[in-house]
Amino acid sequence: MLKWYDFYELEFSLGSLTRLKKRINDALVWKSRKERIPKSLRLEIFILRLILKKRILNRRYEWSKNELKSIFSEKLVLQNLLAEKEIQSILLEKENYDLKKKLESFEVG
């Protein structure tokens, strides 16, 4: 599974972000002219950045959720395997004990 911050996948899932890039370039033009950036443009950039952050956080959340699912499912598999091995160990000990008893009965008799 890819990491949530894999840049190629992240850019693909977020889109090209051309609108945000264009707005930031517009703001740079205003700054280069040493004029105040219009409030609507500042708000639009702010909102677009929040949307971008939300998408990134959602992607990180989904990745973490899937990663935890895989970890816990692996944990359950390992717990079941451990339980099977413990049962096999108990059965082998019992069989070993029975064989010792039979061997002792042959030695005595």
Pair 28, 14: CB distance under 8 Å = no
DSSP code of 103?
Answer: H
For residue 81, the model assigns a pLDDT of: 96
Residue 11's closest CA among 59, 74, 68? 59
The series of mean pLDDT values per 10 residues for the chain, 109 residues long, is 59 69 89 92 90 86 92 95 97 94 82
Nearest-10 crossing angle of helices 39-108, 18-32:
140
Domain boundaries along the sequence of the chain:
7-107
For residue 16, the model assigns a pLDDT of: 59
How many H-runs (helices) and E-runs (strands) does the chain carry? 3, 0
